[in-house]
Amino acid sequence: MNQSRAFQIEYHQFLDPDGVPVGDLPPLAEETEALQALYRNMVFTRLYDERAIALQRTGQLGTFASSLGQEAIGAGVGHAMRPEDIILPSFRENGALLFRHFRVRDLLLYWGGDERGMANPKLGDDFPICVPIATHTTQATGVAFAIKYRKQPRVVVCLLGDGGTSKGDFYEAINLAGAWNLPLVFVINNNQWAISVPRNLQSRAETLAQKAIAAGIPGVQLDGNDPIAVRHYVAEAIEKARDGGGPTLIEAISYRLCHHTTADDATRYRSEEELEAHRRLDPVPRLRRFMERRQIWSEEQETRLIQACQAEIEQEVRHYLDTPPQKPESMFDSLYAELPRELQAQRQSLLGKEVNHD
Ligand SMILES: Cc1ncc(C[n+]2csc(CCOP(=O)(O)OP(=O)(O)O)c2C)c(N)n1
């Protein structure tokens, strides 16, 4: 039988789990400031995460999706984007959002059930956190189409989870991205679990990156716990898209070291041994060890960084806690230009005013 086509998926990694280079490093590895910025973002995200969970546990936050163990993805993506690019995040991309104009207070307001958290005018064209799985992938194609149509030198970055790649929306989105050669980069945060569904039950595909092949776009797989690899390959894909080179699908392999959200108990479906094995791949000490060996990071810098992050986070938490709650009827305010009658009635009844149903 003749072979029609053959494909392969490349896997990239620069640092092993101990932060030791596995081969030649990209120019980024010589950029002290960039490495320190990536590291700061990861440490900040982790400390914010811890604080948000404490707020939730004490009844001061509705729910929260941690990114513990996956910080390299957010940091690498956020750092690779230019201010004029547009992010369409899912709900586990804190680090990427913190590199943009999202502040901790915005994120806390959102998770506290206050939509004003996503209404900061400084967010520009960035999209709010998307909780419905993969629905934002088709929106991303729309945004990327608009950019291309207007000939703007901007790129759209859309992040989703491994589970999200099983949704029809995702296949439609990558197909259109390919067909229209859109300036769009999809980044899959493959943390290997979609709540309690493990990656191997989610799809028979050997890699998630290979889904790109059917869409006719490049698909690459990365060690998503290697911040240098994420930053390097996401930046490469973004700049290629900016130059008219079209979309890329990046699968960043990581692991969710935390519960799915504060409403989940991951001990019910996965073992301590599995968790322990993945703790050894943690991206934060990985970059720290690399920088220490290069003598661009010290114990003293670490202590100062932690203090500075904690002080900033506490200030943001104060802003969040001091924000007067939204009025309950505000939930009707941003849905429609003109509220349909049934919803008007609901709004009125919430205000304590009965309406006539003729
Ligand atoms: C359309 C839709 N269906 C179901 C859900 C419920 N749900 C929330 S998170 C989740 C799993 C998501 O897994 P994955 O895409 O791997 O992202 P992760 O949470 O692991 O980052 C599901 C099914 C949802 N939010 N939206």
**Residue minimizing CA distance to atom 3 of ligand 1:** 133
Q: With a cut of 50, which residues of the chain have pLDDT below it?
A: none
- Among residues 67, 132, 125, 117, the alpha carbon closest in space to that of 96 is found at 67
**Dist. CA 355–CA 345, nearest whole Å:** 6
The atom number, within ligand 1, closest to the CA of 167 reads 1
Q: Residues 172, 177, 180, 185: what is their CA dihedral angle, to the nearest 10 degrees?
A: 170
What pLDDT score does 75 carry? 98
What pLDDT score does 357 carry? 53
**Which letter does DSSP use for residue 254 in this model?**
-
What pLDDT score does 328 carry? 87
Q: With a 6 A CB cut-off, is 164 part of the ligand 1 pocket?
A: yes
What pLDDT score does 237 carry? 98
123-165 pLDDT tens trace: 999 999 999 999 999 999 999 999 999 999 999 999 999 999 9
Cα–ligand 1 centroid distance for 160 (angstroms): 9
Alpha-carbon Rg for the chain, nearest whole angstrom, is 21
Q: With a 6 A CB cut-off, is 133 part of the ligand 1 pocket?
A: yes
In terms of CATH architecture, what is 11-326?
3-Layer(aba) Sandwich (3.40)
**Residue minimizing CA distance to atom 20 of ligand 1:** 194
pTM given for the model: 0.95
180-219 pLDDT tens trace: 999 999 999 999 999 999 999 999 999 999 999 999 999 9
Cα–ligand 1 centroid distance for 164 (angstroms): 7
Q: Could you give the residue numbers annotated as active site?
A: 256, 260, 269
What pLDDT score does 161 carry? 98
Q: With a 6 A CB cut-off, is 162 part of the ligand 1 pocket?
A: yes
What pLDDT score does 356 carry? 55
Handedness of CA 198, 204, 206, 208 (dihedral sign): negative
Domain extents for the chain?
Answer: 11-326, 332-357
The atom number, within ligand 1, closest to the CA of 162 reads 16
Show the CA angle centred on residue 248, arms to residues 242 and 252, nearest 5°.
120
The atom number, within ligand 1, closest to the CA of 164 reads 15
Q: With a 6 A CB cut-off, is 224 part of the ligand 1 pocket?
A: no
